[in-house]
Amino acid sequence: MNEFLNTLQKPWPWYVAGPLIGLTVPILLIIGNKSFGISSSLRHICAACFPANIKFFKYEWKKEAWNLFFVTGILLGGMVAATLLGSNEPLQVNDNLRLELATYGITDISALVPTEIFNFANLFTVQGFIMMVGGGFLVGFGTRYAGGCTSGHAIMGLSNLQLPSLIATCCFMAGGFIMANLILPYILSL
Query: Is 1 strand, coil or helix?
Result: coil
Ordered DSSP codes for 128-177: HIIIIIIHHHHHHHHHHHHT--IIIIIIIIHHTT-HHHHHHHHHHHHHHH
The residue (of 74 and 126) whose beta carbon lies closer to another protein is: 74
The answer to whether 8 and 40 are in contact (CB under 8 A) is no
The residue (of 1 and 113) whose beta carbon lies closer to another protein is: 113
Residues sharing a CB contact under 8 Å with residue 149, sequence separation 6 or more, in sequence order? 37, 38, 39, 139, 143, 172
The residue (of 1 and 188) whose beta carbon lies closer to another protein is: 188
CA–CA gap between residue 129 and residue 120 (Å, rounded): 10
Q: Smallest distance, Å, CB 169 to another protein?
A: 8
Q: Smallest distance, Å, CB 105 to another protein?
A: 15
Q: Smallest distance, Å, CB 4 to another protein?
A: 14
Measuring CA to CA, which residue among 93, 97, 105 is closest to residue 190? 105
